Each structure stands twice: as structure tokens, then as C-alpha cells.
Structure 1
Amino acid sequence: MTQMSLAGLAIACLAPALTPLAHAQGVATDAQLAPVTVTGSATRNGLPAAVPGSTASKTADQLREQNLFNPEDALNYVPGTVVRKRYVGDRNALLAGRSFGTLQPSRALVYLDGYLISNFLGRFDAPRWNMISPEAIARVDVLYGPYSALFPGNSIGTTVAMSQRVPQGFELSGRVVASSHDFQQYGQAERFDSGQFSLHVANRLAGGAWFSADLNHQDATGQPMQWQTAVANAAGSFPAVTGAATTVTGIVYDTDPKGLKRAVFGANGGAIDHTVQDTLNLRGGLMLTPTLEASAMASWWHNDTETRNQSWLRDAAGNTVWSGVVTDGTNRFSIPASAFAPSTRQETHQQLGATLKTRRGPGWNGSLVVSDYRLLADDARQANTPDPVAAAGGAGSLTRRDGTGWNTAEVQASYTSTAGDWGNGRHALALGLHRNGYRLENSVASLADWRSGNGTASQFYGGKTEITALYLQDAWRFSDDWMLTLGWREERFQTHSGRQLGGGVTVDYPGRSLRGHSPKAALAWAASDSLTLKASAGRGVRFPNVEELYNGTVTATSQTLSDPTLKAETADAVDLSAEFEGDRQRLRVSLYWDDVRDAILRQSTTDAAVCKTTATGASSYTCVQNVDRVQTQGIELAWQAQDLGLKGLALEASATYTLRSEVTANARDPAMVGKWWLRVPRTRAALQASYRPDTHWLFAAGWRHQGRAYNDTYNLDVNPNVYGGVSKLNQLDLRGAYKFTPQLELALGINNLTDQHAYQSHPYPGRTLFAEVRFKH
């Protein structure tokens, strides 16, 4: 038996008996994404075989067979899944799945012990992975598609449930891990180092109450994320520049993703990020009565960030040139003063949650879950001048998001019948009421000295959204080999307090109300003791988030445009799967089909016409808009084997092939029709092998593959294997570990052994070395 994870995925009456070993907190009851033991033939991977859609899981033991530095690394080898983690300590590690890319991060749900850590507030606000202690991870479970009525519409892509250990006695463990990698780009090379310390303390008292505390400290520096560039036109001519020019060396020329000549001047825009992060995670629970359990959690995360830049330009005397008009004797360029400006950011986040639930076995049970995530402080300071000038002060800006956050509340009742309760067959019923609310306040103030002060807000955008949902789902085992699951989710989306301030003009937006209707159905047949066939269909409605509705940020070089009239995107999805389980291996083959109407697309471009704006003058534009219809079809294989021909050998392999993912209708922009959907590659694959010859040694290898994808709406990026493109990825990872005693282990690892250059617009890390010491009591 395995530890319970997120309550929220499917109904537990998938067999005559369920025997959970440990308790979960979180959304709804333990009857959902709970790894349980089910009697009969319909089990595999610790999950009920009739869970709607396809699933994947990783246990803590499996995760120790890979180089896991940050929590999101747990998804590196999960089928059909990509995490855009650009460097160690990245706070924007966005999630992508079968039919959506990292430009649609709101199509993914991520839970920690049942509490929502998905961040649907900002442009690139990834799940709050920082709230998870890597040392405490017990397992990770993944569901593909909107097939359960118990999840919000953001489940149209992928749902991830991460679980932390619940103690059965006294526990003390920790780890120290360090990483280092050399990064080379455009002839520049530098080494970047990172380190992390985790400590886990927990205990279960004689009366059954338990508590745990996790502390994590991380100090990390990432490689350059972007470069200051100038792009020539199709004829090879750069934009005309007038005025006196400084003759410089150091300009590098390459070809950009669209095949155009490009000049590169250095790493800019706060390219090199140094971050120090601390997380404290407290959890506890107790049985108030023999059948009533209460649990709670409180987490805090703090981050201090400083960025720096690199100009490669040198004048005749060898001095670094950071701005102004420059020439290499052939071409002339104008470098803005803000191009190489540094920035800092200080953040303190807090998450609180509590759960009250009954545990009566078969019959009626109930649960109440509440949570609150709050940005207690978020100050991002941006200089207007290059590094050496900004070090002494000078003008700049302050972006503040204090008080921003979200809260959730859910009450659920569930009924698990035994044979004969409701006539023939066995039922598991769940019905519930869910509410979540998001609040965003983003202000920008000009500062005389960018390093201090608050200034007066010259730009602002913000608003509030609320979703209230009613749902009902029933899993009916009408014979020993057949299971039918039917569900319905009804949602109401409301916006209010939408507001923008810019250019001295304040715009207040009226409130809006939208409705969503999401039917679900799944049928599972245990064709034999080793083969289960499943068909799942469902609709998911993903409502626009606050930032997509109201953002209107303008900087010296960029403009971000939103749409307060955005529609919700609606996905109709089908998943057909066959799952085979033998004595030593498992195989799943899935066919999936997604049809998304009014897809919400965020895109960045240097062409103002793409964003349909007449407010020209910036060097880059970001906009959000609905696309009438996008269709995706594909096939996925996932295979696991244990002790095949060699005791101690474990193998895992997966492959996802996208047959089609393209825009099939878009009246607003017909040129998009027939084009491949952004950042969805045709192929994804992963392979893992681990070998434990005895109780001391571990040898492991992993390979990650992703085919090239498009980063341009019209698929004009014909040269993807450069900065700004979405390139193919083929990376080999190695790990070796030795246990000196049952309490002490040393591990060494390498990610990206061959030092392959790869890009998800920004560059991925080069060859990275890991060293880890882990101890436990």
C-alpha cells in the first residue's frame, strides 16, 4: 500500500474494498486521486484502473533515481509533459502538456497535499513550486485531460498532485546538494554555481496526532536568459541610425529564428539572475474523534533576487560600452540606456490551509477544505541605466504586487455503497460546492533613485475574479468487469474591480459574468486479468485570468496588451487507452483528441500588426486574444519494467507523437488557419534505466527528447535552434549513488552530458554537475 495523495480525481468505489494507509489533506475527499489497493483484476500502478483518462505516477524512491534539485524536476520524465525550467532557482518553471505549450500555463493544475499552488495571476507566474520541500516529497501523480468533474476547468491540459510524507513515527532527514555548469554562447563562457540545503523533521505522537516541519534554503545563479539584439530586414539591412557613433568591437552576428540576419551586443534585461530563496513548511493533523480528522498547513517563502548584465562592446581604449550609437565600421546601431539595466526583487509569500473530514469507511463521508495564498510583499525594482551607472543610483521604477493572491473553499459529500445497497452493482458518489477567488494589484511607480523609495504610481492594472462551481460524479461498477463514471460540473465566473491606469488616464471596466457547463463520462472494461480498456470523454471550461483581462503595462521598450472581453476557452476531449499489466511490466497505449474553441493565446512579437495595435514605437509587443478553434490529436505509449533479465534493473520509457495540432478556424486572423499551435512539438520521449546491484549502489541514466516546435503564430520561425526559437532537445542525464550506511548516502550526477544547446525561446542550461549528500535518522 502507498501513501494517500490528492483528494480530487476519481471516485474510490472502484472495487469492493479500499484500504488507504495514510491520510491526505486537500480538495474533496480521499476518494479521488488516491493511490489505493483495489481487490480484483482492475489495479495498476497503485491507482484505480477506472480513473477517467490516462495517468502517470512517480514515487519518492523513483525520484531518487534522477537528479532532482528543485521540486519541478520530478516531472522531467513524466510522459507527454515538459517543464520549462530555464535554470536552477527559476521562479517561472512553466508546465506544458500534450495539447498545450508553455504559452498556455493556465491549462495546468498543480496541487500540494491537495492545496492549490497553481498561480493564475501573472503573465509568466508558474506554479509555486517553491512551497514544496524536495526532501519531503512522497509521490507525484499526473492526470491528463478534463475527465473528472471534481476538478476546475484549468484541468483541460494536465493535473499534477504532489504529496509530502505524513509521518508514522519520528523522522529526521535532510540533504545538501550543489550544482555547477559551464555555459557558452556567442563565444562567451562562464561557470554558474548553485547550492541547496533541506531539513525534514516530523513525528507521530502516541495519541495519533502528527506534525512535520520542512526547511529549505537555496542560493542559485542562472546563465544568461536573453541578449540585446538588432534584426535586419529581408534584404539584410539593419534599421537606419543617425548621429555620431562610437567605433566598437565585440558585436556578434548570427541568424534569428525567422532566418534574418541579427546583431548581438551582450546579455541584457537582467539576463543573469542570482536568487536566494528560503521556504518554511509546517503541517500537522489529529483525529478529533475516531472518525473525524483535522489537518492544517502553513508555509512561507522568501526570495531575494539581483540581476546583472554583460555588454561585449569595447571602444578603442578597451572600455566597456553600454549604450549610445555604435558602429563596427560596417553597420550602425543604437543601444538604449535601459538595455543593460539591472533589477532587484524581494518577495515574501504565505500559504495557509485547513481540512476537516470524516473517515467512516463505506457510507457517507464529508469534507471541508479552505486555503489562502497571499503575496505579503513583492517589490521589483528596475533601473533605467546600465549596470555601472545604476550601481550609484539613478532613475528607475518600482513594480509592486503586495496583497495579490487567491483563496479556495470546498465542501464535499461522498457516498460509497457496498454490494446491494442500491440494487445491482456498487456506486461511489461525490457531490460538492467549490469556490475560488483571485485578486491582482499591480502598480508601477517612477523613482528618482531606483534602489529605494516608493514613488507615486504612474501605471496600474488589477481586478478580481471568482468562480463558483457545483459538481456531481458517480462511479458505478455494474458488473465485476465494467465501470461507468458519469459527472457534471456547473461553473459561474465573475469579474469585478477591473481597472487600468496608464498615460494619466484611468479606465474602470464593468463586471462580467460567464457560465460553464462540463459533462464527463468514462467507461472501463477489465477485458482480462492483465488488460483494461478505457474510454473517457469530457469538457473543460478554462476562464481567463485577471492578468489576461486587464494587463496594460508599458515600458521603455515593450508594450503588453490584454483584452477585458476575452471569452473562456472550451475544450472537448476524448482519451482511448489500453493498459496491460504483467508480472514484471506495464504498458499503456493512449489515443487522445482535443478540440479547443476560443483558445486563449498569448504571444510576443516585434511586429505591432500581429497584436492588432496602432500604439507603435516599442521594440516588442505581447498580447492576449481568443483563437476560434484549435484541434490536436496524438498517440502516447508508456512502458515500465522491473527485473527483466537482471535483478535490480528497472526501465521506463514513454513516447508521445502529435499527429496534428493546428488552428482550424480564426475569423479575426485567417492567416493563422492551418498553422501549427505554438510550442507543441510533434514528438516527445523519455527513457530511464536504473540498476541496483545491491543495497549500497545505484546507477541510473535518463534521456529526454523533444522535437522542434513553433514560437511564431504563422510558423515563420524556420531556424528554431537559436536564441528565440523553440528547438529540439536531446539530453542525456546520469546519476550514481552509494549508501555508506542505511542513514548516509552520497550521489553524483550529470545533466545534459553532451552539453547540447537547446532553447525554449530562452536557453536551457549546459552540462550540469551535481553532488548530493543525504542523511536520515
Structure 2
Amino acid sequence: MSLLGKHNLLGLSLAGLLAPSAGADHAPGELATEEVRVWGERGRGSEHQTTGPSHTIGPEDIRGINITTTEDLVKFEPSLVVRRRFIGDANGTLGIRGSNMFQTARSMVFADGVPLHYLLESRWSGSPRWTLVSASEIAQVELLYGPFSAEYSGNAMGGVINIETAIPESRRIRIDGSVFSQGFDAYGFDDSLNGYKGFASYGDRFGDLSVYLSYNHLDNEAQPQSYYYGGGTNNPTPQPVSGAIRGLDSEGNERLFFGDTGVINTTTDNLKLKLGYDWTHWSTLLNVAYEDRLSRTDDANSYVTDTNGDLVWGGDLVQNGAAFSMPASRLNVSAMERDTLSTGWRLQGDLTEDVSLETSLSHFTILRDESRASAVNPAHPEASPAGQVSDYGDTGWRTAEVKLRAENWLTEGLSLVTGARTEAYELNLNVYDSDDYRAGEKTEATSRSGGETRIDAFYAQAAWQFHPRWDSTLGLRYEDWRSDNGYFSNDQPDTPALDLTPVPDNSRQRVSPKFSLGFTPNNDWQLRYSLARAYRFPIVEELFSQYQAYNAVSEANPELKPEDGVHHNLMLERHLTNGLMRLNLFQENVKDVIESQTELLPGGGSVRTFVPIDEVETWGAEWIADLQGLWHPQLDWRFNLTYTRSEVTDNEPNPDLEGNTFPRMPRWRGNLLASYHLSADWQVNANIQYASDSFGSLDNSDTEKGVYGAQDGYIFIGLKTRYQLDDHWGFSLGLDNVTDERAYVAHPWPGRTVYASFSYDWH
């Protein structure tokens, strides 16, 4: 199938997700074969099945999910977690298998071959740029588990998500929208929060030229994400107050919580242009996406009042004999504005009947990424326009790749893929004191840091079907990594300007072998063992990003080594007449693990450091069952359950950590999705998400659950029904977290959320 080949399983957009397009000659939610053209990479599931475990998500898999943003499509997949704390969250980090949700540089996400993963920063700042592709334009998603393919770098230690989008072969106009609302209460906050999403697209084909334009707008109010408790004070005459809420922190210490960040207002606009052109055996695609994001936290809540009943916004306080400090900067207000531009170009064609060539270029640049924060809350008696401004300048990346594929290379049944890829990353962060934060005035620089990294890679991988029942794959990837132009501020008081300290350049070369052996005793069973070595090189933030802001300090480590992992997977798969069942046993041993730890300080501040861990071992079992018509012809089931045990097995600098469970790695994860087809046009769905609790710190001291800062287990139940009125209109209603369970992933997960959606297609 060519790059732009026809695909009879793909739906175009949320019409397939929220309300399927009905047709006279195809199943509900599917688009007629001659009307859809796939823009992403060629369907490569069959190729990747010879390297390691993979899974393809089509329209039937995701129609029963309440979907507003792209990351919703994968949140029910095995051994995977997306830490999206609210709809529109810019920090929707991704974790797969033995890589937790804050090891963001271990998972890769592509849309039509364009990188969405953010290999500049980690933890909450390292989330994939999900909003550069709208949920309503997605046709299919492919997941690859582990770094078993030589086509991908060690950033695939967790896995790879390949998103494919689609465009109609004829004129098609699409409009859809959703409204959603949640009620939320925790500590001193209790309110209803609302949002909406709107999408419009136009696709058409003029001879060999294809055009696709889309606009996506998201506006949402989110629950407070941080709750602040007081620190100690030595003031002999603290101010008497009331209203602070007594509670426990994640380590079980009794605290007085004095306030929260208030509602987060987020708006995101996404504009997309795709131009494709076909001639003879060649196809090319230009993909341009622009994102404009604004996030405001300008209504912080103080729970504390003085003896006159007036709100208190800072100071040394005492309540019922318990003295505590309330830092004035903790309840400040802030706003973040971000404009980014992503451009991708791809060319693919056949050189001969058995040989094809593919080349791609991508460029991601931050046009503006600025955060503005006040020094204190505007209601504070000492409030002024003074504040702080943080600015990312000259930040982004460039990639280029050329890839050659050959079938029946040298002999029948032997295929080869070989190629070269280069990636260059640059990050620069400047923090300023501001005389007027509202205007974004940059009065005086207080810290600067940044640097660059680059990886040049060459790879080759051969797959050989050497027997009707046996196949083998052997791959090799060579990578040349280097960091340069690193710097951070280390100001000297006796000099007038901000002093910068250069960081020495560094370079490393690594070779990563890959191997897989498969046995298919018959058409129903498959057994496969996969083995890979992978190196994950440090990213710019881990090496260079050092700064001090009002409520956060970050300390980088330019001496970090690359993570060195050996990964195993044993898969047993059974194909049934109505679906499949699969068992994966996996093990990962990773040395020189780069773990970012954040210490929460009394009063709400934090210190972030990048700590190398000598070795972490992870092993687990993954059970997957996708069954159609089980117990009833109109009832479909998808189920997965994963057991994972991840431990620090060696750590010479601090042996006390040995034997501890690695942070944010729950022992159990599972998902259940059930779909019942009342008719060809009406479907009802139910789903359950489950995770056991985990730790947030390496020392495993955070054992308290159900409190801010905890890593809670949860059971979230979701419902959805959708109805296709006619060939154009579709409607759906949904509910997430039916029981309104309150759980924390340090920050709180959303409460019970109601959805109402519509779609209209003209074609």
C-alpha cells in the first residue's frame, strides 16, 4: 500500500468517534473506501510484528470513548498512562510499560511522520504536543511497545505512537462540537467547571492535488491543581487567623492548608494545512500546524481570614495555637502564552517494483512561550505590578531522515530497511524580574540557561521469512550524540551584568543491536521473542536547565550519562474467529537511569533535580483480549491487565534506595471497554480504568493516600451513548468518573464530567 493508499478501515474524524457516518454500503462509522486517503505513514503493522509487540487502534476501538483531545484516543491502551489532569492540560505526559509518566524522553509520538514528542524538557514540561493534531482528523493510531525496531532511537524505550490522519478523496466539510462540565470539591474549593470544543475542516481533491484545512478551538475551566500548606515560623507575634484546613501531606505529616491556585482557564487554537500531490509512483505531503495556547491562573483562593473576617494573603500566622507561615508568592496569579509552528514534509515513492524510498524533514519552533507571574496576589496589601517573566527564546528542533526499503532483497522472503536520521535540539530559558508583569516587561535578567544537543544515526534492519513457520529479524542502529553551547547563569555580585558560565561540550557514540525470532505453528497461534539494547541520551533540560523562579528551583546535571537498557519481550498470541488474545512477558534492565525528583517545600515551593540511578529493573506481564460478539452478537469487549514490578536494584551513591519501588510505577493497571450495538445507528458503551497506588519519591516515603501530593490508585468508570440521526448529523452523550472518585496523581484527577457532542458531515 502506498503512502497515500486507500484504506477501508479508517474514519476521518470525531464523526467516527462520537457519531459514526452512516452509509448505504458500509458499516456505521466507516467511510467509503474511495472517499478516504491516509496521510500518515504506510500501514506498517505487519513489518513491526516481526520486531516486537504492536497494536493498531481503528475507529471501532475508539468510538465508545469520550474524546475531546488527541491523547484520549490512547488512554485505554495496555501498559500505558497519560497524565492529563484536565481537558486542555498542556502537561499531558505519557508513560509506557517500564517508563513512568515523567520519563517523557522515553516515549515517542508521531503524526504523519512529524514528531510530537518533546525531547527538550522532561517531567510535566516534557509532554508531547498533542494539540498539534486534532482528535477530529485522526484516522488510525499504531502503538509499538519497546525499542525493538532499529528505525527508532533509544527514546523508544517505553514505546512509539504513530498517528495517521486522513483527508477525503472528494469534497468533504466537517463540523463538530462538544460541551463538558464537571463538579469538583477538594480542601477549600467547591465549584462547577465548564468548557467546550469546536472543530471545522474542509478537504478536497483537484486532480493530483489534495487539500485539507482545519481549525480546532478548545476552551475549558479546570479544577485547582495545587493546594498549599504552611511552613514553620519563628515569629513571636504571629497574626491570629481562622479557616486553614487541617490535613495530611503525602508523607503523613499534619499540615495546615491555607489556599489553592484557583480555577485554571485554558484556551487552545489549532490551525492545520495539509497539501499532497501524487504522480506516477510518487507521493509528497506538506503538513503545517500552528498552535496558540493561553493558560491563566488568576483567581487563587485563600482559605484564611483574620479576626475581622477579611481574607489573608500572606504572613506569619497562628490558628488555635498552631503557628505557620504563608508565603505571599504562593497565591500569586500567572498567565502562560505559547505560540508554536510545526512544519513537516514527506516524499515517498517506488524506485523499482521491490525498492522504495522515503525521505522526510520536520521543523518545530517556539514563536513565543512566555509565562508572567505576580510577586503576590493582587488582593495582598502590598500588591504592585512587580512580578516575574519567564521566556523561552530560540527554542525548537529540526529533523531529517532518508529511508530505503527493499523486498525480496538478495533472496525470496528477505526484506531490508536502512536509513539515516539527524536530529538537532535547542533550548534557551530566560527568567526576568519585572516592574510590570502584566505587560510582560523584562526589567532585569535573574537567570539564564540553555544549550544544544544533536544525534546522527544510521540503521539497518533485515527481516527473513526463512521457513513458512519461522521468521527472524536482525537490526543495528549506530548513534553519534553530542551536546554543545551549554551555559547557565552564575552571577557575581561585583559585576554589572548577569554572568554566564559555559558548560563543556560532550559527545558519545553507541551501537544498539536488535533481534527477534518468531514461530507460527498455524494460522491461529504466534510465538515471538524480541531482544534489544537501547541508549537514551540526555536531553537539553537535563544537561543545562538551571533556574530559580518564585516557587520553583531547577538544578541540571551536565555530567549525565546515557541511559543503557536491555529489553526482552516474549509474546504468545492467539487469533480467534471473533478477535484475539495476547500475553506479553517483558523485562527491562536500565543502567544510569536519569530520574528527575521534585521535593515539595512547606509553603508550596519545589526543588527539582536530575539524579542518576545506577540500575533499575522492571519486569511484568501483560494480558490483552479484544473480542467481538462475545456472549451476544452485538456486544464487543476490549480488556487489558498489566502487572509491573519496577525496583532500584543498584545505587552505589545511596544504597538505602536499593530494593525500593521506582516512582510512579503502579503494580497493576487495567482497562475494560464494552460496546453494545442497539442498531446500526445507535451504540451504548461503558469503560473502566484501573490502577493501583504507587510512590512519587525514590525513598518511598510518600505512603499517605487520598491527599494532595499522593500517587493514588483509582477506579474510573465511564459511559457513553451515540446516535447517528442520518447521513449528516450525529449526537452523543457521555460521562467520565461516574462515581466522582477523588484521586491524586500528585495533582488531582478530574471529577465527574458530563459530555454532550454533535457532528455534521457534508460530502
* TM beyond 0.5: yes
Asked if 1:640 corresponds to 2:634, the answer is: no
2:710 is aligned to 725
1:209 is aligned to 209
The code of the aligned residue for 1:536 comes to S
- Report how far residue 422 of structure 1 moved: 2.8
- Report how far residue 4 of structure 1 moved: 9.0
Asked if 1:149 corresponds to 2:142, the answer is: no
Could you give the per-residue CA deviations for residues 576-635 of structure 1, whole angstroms, max 9, x where no partner exists?
A: 001111110210100000000101100011489xxxxxxxx9953210021110000000
Contact 1:172 1:202 in 2 (8 A): yes
Contact 2:39 2:164 in 1 (8 A): no
- Report how far residue 555 of structure 1 moved: 2.5
Q: What pairs up with 1:504-519 in 2 under 5 angstroms?
A: 504-519=498-513
2:25 is aligned to none
2:221 is aligned to 221
The code of the aligned residue for 1:664 comes to T
Asked if 1:652 corresponds to 2:638, the answer is: yes
Q: 1:770 aligns with which of 739, 743, 755?
A: 755
1:251 is aligned to 244
CA shift in 2, pair 1:657/1:412, >3 Å: same
SS in 1 for 2:329: coil
Number of matched pairs: 725
- Report how far residue 647 of structure 1 moved: 2.4
Could you give the per-residue CA deviations for residues 428-461 of structure 1, whole angstroms, max 9, x where no partner exists?
A: 1111110001010100111111112232322101
Q: After the TM superposition, which of the residue ranges 532-541 and 159-168 deviates more from structure 2?
A: 159-168
CA shift in 2, pair 1:557/1:129, >3 Å: closer
1:200 is aligned to 201
Could you give the per-residue CA deviations for residues 36-86 of structure 1, whole angstroms, max 9, x where no partner exists?
A: xxxxxxxxxxx4573322122221343221101111011121011000000
Q: What pairs up with 1:109-508 in 2 under 5 angstroms?
A: 109-123=108-122, 124-205=125-206, 207-230=207-230, 239-268=232-261, 271-287=262-278, 289-308=279-298, 309-359=300-350, 362-389=353-380, 393-417=384-408, 422-423=410-411, 425-452=412-439, 453-503=441-491, 504-508=498-502
The code of the aligned residue for 2:286 comes to A
Could you give the per-residue CA deviations for residues 397-422 of structure 1, whole angstroms, max 9, x where no partner exists?
A: 111113311110001111112xxx63
CA shift in 2, pair 1:391/1:164, >3 Å: farther
Q: What pairs up with 1:579-594 in 2 under 5 angstroms?
A: 579-594=573-588
1:679 is aligned to 664
The code of the aligned residue for 1:93 comes to G
Contact 1:176 1:197 in 2 (8 A): yes
1:34 is aligned to 44
Q: 1:530 aligns with which of 524, 535, 543?
A: 524
SS in 1 for 2:710: coil
The code of the aligned residue for 2:205 comes to R
SS in 2 for 1:74: helix
CA shift in 2, pair 1:386/1:601, >3 Å: same
Q: After the TM superposition, which of the residue ranges 626-635 and 100-109 deviates more from structure 2?
A: 100-109
RMSD: 2.1
Contact 2:531 2:569 in 1 (8 A): yes
SS in 1 for 2:543: helix
Partners of 1:480 and 1:353 lie apart in 2 by: 40
Partners of 1:390 and 1:485 lie apart in 2 by: 69
Could you give the per-residue CA deviations for residues 462-488 of structure 1, whole angstroms, max 9, x where no partner exists?
A: 000000000000111112222111100
CA shift in 2, pair 1:739/1:604, >3 Å: same
SS in 1 for 2:73: helix
- Report how far residue 646 of structure 1 moved: 2.0
The code of the aligned residue for 2:349 comes to T
CA shift in 2, pair 1:336/1:538, >3 Å: same
Q: 2:560 aligns with which of 542, 560, 566?
A: 566
- Report how far residue 712 of structure 1 moved: 1.4
The code of the aligned residue for 2:293 comes to N
- Report how far residue 322 of structure 1 moved: 0.7
Contact 1:342 1:390 in 2 (8 A): no
SS in 2 for 1:274: strand
The code of the aligned residue for 2:677 comes to R
Partners of 2:381 and 2:709 lie apart in 1 by: 27
Could you give the per-residue CA deviations for residues 80-99 of structure 1, whole angstroms, max 9, x where no partner exists?
A: 10000001110000001211
Contact 2:171 2:205 in 1 (8 A): yes
The code of the aligned residue for 1:632 comes to T
Partners of 1:572 and 1:175 lie apart in 2 by: 45
- Report how far residue 387 of structure 1 moved: 3.5
CA shift in 2, pair 1:77/1:90, >3 Å: same
Contact 2:589 2:615 in 1 (8 A): yes
Could you give the per-residue CA deviations for residues 298-338 of structure 1, whole angstroms, max 9, x where no partner exists?
A: 01000122113111111122211111111113211111120
Q: 1:669 aligns with which of 639, 648, 654?
A: 654
The code of the aligned residue for 2:97 comes to R
Partners of 2:553 and 2:114 lie apart in 1 by: 34
Identical counterparts, % of pairs: 27
SS in 2 for 1:130: helix
Q: 1:624 aligns with which of 610, 630, 636?
A: 610
Contact 1:3 1:23 in 2 (8 A): no
Partners of 2:330 and 2:205 lie apart in 1 by: 55
Partners of 2:52 and 2:134 lie apart in 1 by: 29
- Report how far residue 243 of structure 1 moved: 4.3
SS in 2 for 1:339: helix
The code of the aligned residue for 2:527 comes to L
Contact 2:50 2:472 in 1 (8 A): no
SS in 2 for 1:451: helix
CA shift in 2, pair 1:182/1:387, >3 Å: farther
CA shift in 2, pair 1:23/1:168, >3 Å: closer
Unaligned runs of 5+ in 1: 6-18, 36-46, 232-238, 609-616
Could you give the per-residue CA deviations for residues 670-689 of structure 1, whole angstroms, max 9, x where no partner exists?
A: 11111001101100000000
Could you give the per-residue CA deviations for residues 724-767 of structure 1, whole angstroms, max 9, x where no partner exists?
A: 01000100000011111121111111000000111111000010
Partners of 1:25 and 1:509 lie apart in 2 by: 42
Contact 1:50 1:483 in 2 (8 A): no
CA shift in 2, pair 1:102/1:527, >3 Å: same
Unaligned runs of 5+ in 2: 1-6, 12-32, 492-497
